[in-house]
Amino acid sequence: MYRKRILAAAAAVAMSMTACSTGAPAVTEAQAQTQAETVTEQSSEQSSEETAATEVSAEEAEKPVGKEIGSEVTALELSKMMGNGIDLGNTHEAYGHGSQPWDTDPKIFEGLWGQPTTTKEMIQGMKDAGFDTVRVPVAWTNAMNYESGDYTINPAMLDRIGEVIDYAIEADMFVIVNDHWDGSWWGMFGSETEKTRQDAMDMYISMWTQIGERYKDKPYNLIFESANEELGDRLNDTDVAKDSGSLSTAECYDTANRINQTFVDTIRAQGGNNADRFLLIAGYNTDIERTCNSAFKMPEDTAEQRLMVSVHYYTPSDYCLFGSVTHWGNEGQYEEQDRLLEKMTQFTDQGYGVVIGEYGVLTGGSGVPREDWDLWFNNFIANCDLYNYVPVLWDCNDLYSKTRCEITDPAVKEFFLSRSNAAREGMTDEEIQENAIQVMEDGLAAAAERVSDDGSIPYSDDTAVAWIMYQSADYSIAYSVGDKYDPSSKAEGTVAENVLITGPGEYTVSLDFSAAGKPKGVAFSALGISNCEQLFPGSIIDIKKVEINGEEVTLEGKPYTCSDDGKCTRVNLYNQWVGKVPENVRTADGSADGATPVPLNIPDNKNIKTISVTFEFITK
């Protein structure tokens, strides 16, 4: 039923796109001759003053015109036109504020994180590689002396970003410009000091006033984005405002909503094309589930159907970001990706465009695609095709070589070329979406047939399996990190001895990394039991012994039993991400006094070969 609803909506959009995409009705030869004669007669009657008023300067004539996008085009229609995108990563957002004077040549900043200077050829190469949109993250405070209370942006920075915008427009691309991480000045919004919070809003308004005014006459190819990942929990960052951290989660949502509304109001008030320019609204943490929370509100807008919402997608992070998990593609992973991406239809159903402003399976700078990248990419892009999202690949001179101006891996090159607007010209929306459905169905079917041969206990909703979640301190090795037991989510060569929990008693689980590399220390580890909250409600895990590399280590604090999702029961061995012990934890002695989420202490530089945990499982 949902599939039929999507396809029906796509057909309706296709009809409306046909009516507005040509820009003007066809003109017959006779009509053209009549119009030419009329124009000739009118032009001969013009006064010299009127003629002068209609002349275009040579400078104006050289400016890129951009795509013919009328004010009647909606955000959903624009999403189809934007096609696939790519980020110009780690370049214009490379941060050097403080280490470089605010009036430094902007091109100096571009190279601070090891990237080459942006060129016209580089942007044209992105277009030729199959990308129809480029996202340009910017650190605007590089060009400000904002600590003095002066929020003026160095004109040279505005000139330089304007130049890059024109590169994209000349290449017949859409271009997104934002204020990125930017040294995490956003934490000023979470300051305990009211003046610091007001300074943050004053600077934000001044920033977008200058950016908007400077580019307000650029064509609709240019899209402004309100922020990056900072509108959310990171409003409490202490990098700049040392007394930040004062906002509760509800206050973070309220502040993020207020910032987004201020962004829209500031741009709309400038007139020109900004009166109805397409605007991209950063979601909460740019996280799908946090953005789909009812506490997140899209801004009110004086322009109709010209807003889009931005989220990022790097799930699972152990595979996509860190590479500590080396494979992807089991049933659970397909289902997780499909479930998360479908959630964003709550925005398209309301007429908002959806931009996945960053996604990818990062290679760590090697430029060599990670194993199973094609499974992840195929299913991800198919979801975007099905739901009319705009995917924007995060890339930093990696899959796309900024020096060679091309994608160097043949398979990746073909993947993106085949999904460009040029390659799909002539395909109907229904054909694209039917193909997407087929790709998703085929991928899931193949995943169901992909059976692990490593002897792991498979996941089942009807069984309780105990295992050790592990993420190394150097993020090189991971095993089944998350509340759902997944024995296939691991670094190549990792051997796990998990155990089926059948009732009370003593059990031992272990991990062996001898063939997986040399992981150092612990970033996160916990002992989990899948489905335990349902099968053995109120149970307690009492850690009896922990061995590292065959030697017993002493717990320096008291572990506690809890659940994050109401299904998996867990005991943290080392979890610095938890600020305080939650309420209603369970312990062997019945008291939460002295309980800690970091009872295990392992030096970050310690090489880990094996971990073993023996525990008593206590039921009510």
Residue 475 lies in a domain: yes
Mark whether 579 and 609 lie in a shared domain. Answer: yes
Residue 40 lies in a domain: no
pLDDT at 47: 35
**The domain that contains 279 carries what CATH number?**
3.20.20.80
Q: Which of 398, 416, 448 is the last residue of a domain?
A: 448
Mark whether 469 and 444 lie in a shared domain. Answer: no
Mark whether 109 and 133 lie in a shared domain. Answer: yes
Residue 583 lies in a domain: yes
Query: Can you tell me whether residue 182 is helix, strand or coil?
Result: helix
Mark whether 98 and 133 lie in a shared domain. Answer: yes
Q: Which of 448, 477, 498 is the last residue of a domain?
A: 448
Separation in Å, CA 82 to CA 133, 352, 401: 6, 14, 22
Mark whether 159 and 269 lie in a shared domain. Answer: yes
Residue 323 lies in a domain: yes
pLDDT at 453: 65
Domains: count for the chain: 2
Mark whether 411 and 480 lie in a shared domain. Answer: no
Mark whether 356 and 488 lie in a shared domain. Answer: no
Provide the phi-psi class of 529: left if phi over 0, else alpha when psi is between -120 and 50, else beta: beta
Print the domain residue range for 337: 72-448
| DSSP, res 426 | T
* Rounded Cα–Cα distance for residues 215 and 561 (Å): 56
* Rounded Cα–Cα distance for residues 147 and 151 (Å): 9
Residue 311 lies in a domain: yes
Q: Which of 448, 479, 498 is the last residue of a domain?
A: 448
Mark whether 471 and 442 lie in a shared domain. Answer: no
Mark whether 428 and 488 lie in a shared domain. Answer: no
Query: Can you tell me whether residue 397 is helix, strand or coil?
Result: coil
pLDDT at 205: 98
Mark whether 178 and 322 lie in a shared domain. Answer: yes
pLDDT at 365: 85
Residue 62 lies in a domain: no
Mark whether 468 and 570 lie in a shared domain. Answer: yes
Mean pLDDT by 10 residues, the chain (620 residues): 39 35 31 34 37 39 63 95 97 94 94 97 98 98 96 98 98 98 98 98 98 97 98 97 96 98 98 97 98 98 98 96 94 95 98 98 92 97 98 97 96 97 95 97 90 78 96 94 91 95 98 94 96 97 97 94 95 89 92 94 93 96
Residue 457 lies in a domain: no
| DSSP, res 116 | P
pLDDT at 37: 35
Residue 58 lies in a domain: no
pLDDT at 364: 86
CA angle (86, 82, 155) in 5-degree steps:
65
Mark whether 288 and 417 lie in a shared domain. Answer: yes
Element (H, E) at 512: strand 505-512
Residue 238 CA from chain centroid, whole number: 22
